[in-house]
Amino acid sequence: MLPEKTIERLSQYRRLLLANKQKGKENIFSHEIAVQLHLTSVQVRRDIMLIGYSGTQRKGYNIDLLIEKISSILDDEKGLNSIIIGMGNLGKAISTYFYGKRNKIDIVAAFDIDIKKTGRLISGVWCYHTSDLETIIKEKQISLAILALAPEAAQDITDRIIFAGVKGILNFTSVPLNVLPNVYLENYDMVTSIEKVAYFVKENHLQNR
């Protein structure tokens, strides 16, 4: 299995490659990728080595083929269905953002407990009541869930979706979730992010004295 950090970068390589392809470019050197993403060319080459793709010395990497190779690693062939739970400000922002983007990861349903939000389309995604959670997860073969709901309900809902078959969670609530060992959990904590930036801003000030 590939290192976590390599996976993250592969996602970024692919986006960059698609942008370069758009501009009509056919081949790209490791140092070009590196400059555009602010990495080192060594790291780029090493990652590409790890996934078993090869370029040529004179032309670098063929953009189409590299995109294809990365996609064969990141994407599930048959696609992967996901849901958003919690259609508040953040949930809506996310579903609006993803709506219409063609992608192997489809957001096929949303859930909320607030009946003012349920039973209708919200930014292109049907919003169900959480009471339908288990039914829909099984029906639509959901394997990934994005949590953007009120923190109080996060663990409860997590237990339910895992029991219903969800295998990966992207958690935006600040709640440290308990999940079964075979469920992949990725947390993003915005407050921590900001506090970290603030800390390094402060430290930098100290350094410059």
Partner DNA sequence: ATAAAGTTGTTAAAATATTAACATTGTTTA
Partner DNA sequence: TAAACAATGTTAATATTTTAACAACTTTAT
Contacting positions for ligand NAD (CB under 6 A): 85-91, 93-94, 97, 111-114, 117, 130, 148-151, 153, 157, 172-174, 190-191
Q: Which is nearer to ligand NAD, 61 or 172 (CB)?
A: 172
Q: Applying CB under 8 A, does 114 fall inside the site for a copy of itself? A: no
Q: Which of the choices ligand NAD, DNA, a copy of itself, none does residue 3 contact, using the CB cut-off of 5 to 8 A by kind?
A: DNA
Q: Applying CB under 8 A, does 99 fall inside the site for a copy of itself? A: no
Query: What residues contact residue 201 under an 8 Å CB cut-off, 6+ apart?
Result: none
In angstroms, give the least distance from the CB of 107 to ligand NAD: 11
Which residue number has the CB closest to ligand NAD? 88
Q: Which residues bind DNA (CB under 7 A)?
A: 3-6, 29-31, 39-43, 45-46, 48-49, 53-58, 60-61
Q: Which residues bind a copy of itself (CB under 8 A)?
A: 1, 4, 7-8, 11-12, 15, 36-38, 73-76, 80, 82, 88-90, 92-94, 96-97, 104-105, 143-144, 146, 167-170, 174, 176, 178, 182, 184, 186, 188-205, 208
